[in-house]
Amino acid sequence: MKKKLVILSGAGISAESGVATFRDSGGLWEGHDVMEVASPEGWRKNPALVLDFYNKRRRQLFEVQPNKAHFIAAELEKDFDVTIITQNVDDLHERAGSTNVIHLHGELLKARSVYNTLDIIDFTGDITLGDLHTDGYQLRPHIVWFGEAVPAIEDAIPVVEQADYIIVIGTSLQVYPAAGLTDFAKRTTPIFYIDPKPAGIPNMKNPLEVFPLKASEGMEIVAGRLRNI
């Protein structure tokens, strides 16, 4: 039976594809205060701005491609039972070929109504004020904003509990509950942390190896290491 590999990814894995990370840009996200565009308060204050912001992010997604790190993650399925747990809202893991992806913070290519968090639909175009879901309520991006619940964490925790190996890649590990996921791993599960500026060191009780490298370089080394274990 294949060993279980969990890859916990953040914005840094998509950086080489040309998608900006959040905290590398001095608290601004594509020129905006994060709370302005990614919080329920921001939405209440200026929904048109929030929709416009995510419309731009969604359009940008069609201009970028998965990079080597995404492809290596997908190829690891040949040798491992891989689950990607990503904080990213892009679909670059899926486009690289990964078949088992949990999106903790939602997906840019999905939308839902402001009323019902569970009625999620595929959405590739722009959302504008006045676009309604079938329930008659305004559509909003299917994105988990700051202060909102993270329902997918319930799917992620048991996967981490059963992991034989964990790769943490391209995340500053500043945002919970994602940053606390490694606490659920067995104490013997090795953790490989790939990040050029590895700020948040995951659970120190586990065997930990840090690779202060870009995602593509780090993934190449760690994938080679895992195949030889």
- Point out which span in 39-47, 56-64, 130-138, 164-172 binds ligand APR (CB under 6 A): 164-172
**Among positive and negative, which fits the CA dihedral 68, 28, 146, 112?**
negative
Using CB under 6 A, which of 7, 215, 223, 226 touches ligand APR? 215
- Residue spans of beta strands (DSSP E) within the chain: 4-9, 28-29, 32-33, 81-86, 101-103, 106-113, 120-122, 139-143, 165-169, 191-194, 208-211
Residue 98 in contact with ligand APR, rule: CB under 6 A: no
**Nearer of residues 14 and 164 to ligand APR, judged by Cβ:** 14
Residue 23 in contact with ligand APR, rule: CB under 6 A: yes
Residue 90 in contact with ligand APR, rule: CB under 6 A: no
Q: Which residue is nearest to ligand APR (CB)?
A: 12
Contact status, residue 155 vs residue 124, Cβ threshold 8 Å = no
Residue 168 in contact with ligand APR, rule: CB under 6 A: no
Count of residues engaged in binding ligand APR, rule: CB under 6 A: 23
Using CB under 6 A, which of 57, 70, 93, 105 touches ligand APR? 105
Q: Is 105 a catalytic residue?
A: yes
- b/e map 90-127, b = 16+ CB within 10 Å: bbbbbbbebeebebbbbbbbbbbbeeeeeeeeebeeeb
Per-residue tokens: 43 = 């939405």
Residues forming contacts to ligand APR in the complex (CB under 6 A) are 10-12, 15-16, 21-24, 34, 87, 105, 170-172, 174-175, 195-197, 199, 214-215
